[in-house]
Amino acid sequence: MRHLLPPLRALIVKGLVEDKGWSITRAAKALRITVPAASKYRRILSRRHRIDMDILERTASRLVEGIARGVLGDQDFIRAVCSLCMNLRIDGEICRLHRLEIPELRECTLCGELFRDAGLRSAERSRVLAELREGLRILSGIKGFERLIPEVRTNLVMAVEGARSLEDVAGFPGRITVVKGRAHAPAGPEFGASKHMATILLSVMRRRPELRSVICLKYSEEVLRGLRELGFSVEFIDRDRYGSVEEYVARGWRGSAALVDPGGVGIEPIIYLFDRDATALARTVRRLAGILGSGH
User: Please, which residues have CB within 8 angstroms of residue 26's CB and are 6 or more apart in sequence?
Assistant: 16
- Count of domains forming the chain: 2
Same domain, yes or no, for 149 and 99? no
Q: Closest Cα partner for 82 from 119, 126, 32?
A: 119
Phi/psi for 238 (5° steps) reads: -85, 100
Same domain, yes or no, for 134 and 250? yes
**Residue 9 belongs to a domain:** yes
Element at 274 (helix H, strand E): strand 270-275
Same domain, yes or no, for 170 and 55? no
**CB of 1 within 8 A of CB of 82?**
no
**Residue 39 belongs to a domain:** yes
Q: What is the tens place of the pLDDT at every residue in 223-252?
A: 999 999 999 999 999 988 998 999 999 999
Same domain, yes or no, for 98 and 147? no
- Report, as an integer, the average pLDDT of 105-127: 71
Specify the higher pLDDT residue, 121 or 195. 195
- Report, as an integer, the average pLDDT of 135-144: 93
Same domain, yes or no, for 56 and 182? no
- Using the predicted structure, report yes or no on whether residue 2 has a pLDDT greater than 70: no
**Residue 117 belongs to a domain:** no
- Please state whether the predicted TM-score (pTM) of the whole model is above 0.75: no
Q: What is the tens place of the pLDDT at every residue in 145-181?
A: 888 999 999 999 999 999 989 999 999 998 999 998 8
Same domain, yes or no, for 202 and 91? no
Q: Which residues span the domain enclosing 97?
A: 5-108
**CB of 63 within 8 A of CB of 12?**
yes
Q: Closest Cα partner for 94 from 1, 176, 164?
A: 1
For 72, the 3-state DSSP assignment is coil
